[in-house]
Amino acid sequence: MILSTIFEWIGTCSGILGAAMVASKTRFSPFGWIAFMLSSLNLGIFAYLTDANGLLLLESVFFLTNVLGLWQWLIKPYIERSNEQSDQGDYEPSIRPEERTDRP
């Protein structure tokens, strides 16, 4: 199997996975953007190796839009939740030390 074929199929499969994850509208949907980024990266490498310049441009733009999607769906909400918890000042860990079951 040639190297370009490996990149082509990893890109194709991760793109399909990303589309299914985003379209499913579940708690896993935001992670579809990671699969999309993996797809764009691999298909971009495939396009470079096979001299497909139009595809290379397309995948470069897709990669940038996937970075934006990753920011909007995963990174930004995580930062906002962290800031809300630290601003409240009454943040409690999910398991209090006295409730831990891993101690005798």
pLDDT confidence of residue 101: 58
Cα–Cα dist 5/8, whole Å: 5
Report the predicted TM-score, pTM, of the whole model to 2 decimal places: 0.74
Q: Which pLDDT band holds residue 6 (cuts at 50, 70, 90)? A: very high
Per-residue pLDDT, averaged over 11-22, amounts to 97
Element housing 64 (H / E): helix 53-70
Nearest to 35 by CA among 56, 72, 62: 62
pLDDT confidence of residue 78: 87
H-state helical runs in the chain: 3-23, 32-49, 53-70, 76-88
Cα–Cα dist 87/75, whole Å: 18
| Structural tokens at position 25 | 């509208």
pLDDT confidence of residue 88: 67
